[in-house]
Amino acid sequence: MKELMEGMYPLAVWGVVLSTILAGVKFWEIWKNRTRIEVSYNFTGSSDIGNEVIIRNLTGTPILITYWELLWRHKSWFRWKQSKEINPDEFFEDLKLGGNSSIKLTFREQDYFDWGSSALGNDRIFLRLRIAGKAKPILRKVYG
């Protein structure tokens, strides 16, 4: 019996090493395929030209944005309070954002907003995105 146990030791070590390597590969795949979204802006002082919020998908996997909201929020006693929001119109359709690509949300004329320090005060502008397949919305700071 002792001889049998000694012969199984290298096999047990091989099993531990192999399973550890496979677990590391699986964690790397999960980390690499997570949703990574970057938000930036191109604000102007003209309502004719308008303001733009740019959404970039930094992964190779396409995503589907089912809803978005532009929010003005400020911190009050360790909590965020919302002071204003802009939503898409009632005829909004899902936005398809391909892998490693970007889309622009344009706000001009009646949708134009002032973004200067006098207009914002203590507020910061955030973008809340609802992504198909995700339980919670993604919140990204745009400006402020």
Note whether 1 and 53 are same-domain residues.
no
- 42 and 81, same domain (yes or no): yes
Range of the domain at 23: 1-32
**Res 53: pLDDT:** 94
43 plus 28 within the same structural domain: no
Q: What is the 3-state secondary structure (H, E, C) of 74-135?
A: EEECCEEEEEEEECCCCCCCCEEECCCCEEEEEECHHHCCCCCHHHHCCCEEEEEEEECCCC
The predicted pLDDT at position 139 comes to 94
Q: Are 141 and 75 in contact (CB under 8 A)?
A: no
26 and 41 together in one domain: no
* Structure tokens belonging to residue 41: 């802006």
Q: Which CATH number covers residue 103?
A: 2.60.40
Secondary structure class of 50 (helix, strand, coil): coil
Which residues of the chain are modeled with pLDDT < 70?
1-8
pLDDT of residue 5: 57
Residues 125 and 95 in one domain: yes
Q: How far apart are CA 70 and CA 128, in angstroms?
A: 6
Domain count, the chain: 2
Same-domain check for residues 54 and 120:
yes
* Domain co-membership, 55 together with 14: no
Residues 98 and 117 in one domain: yes
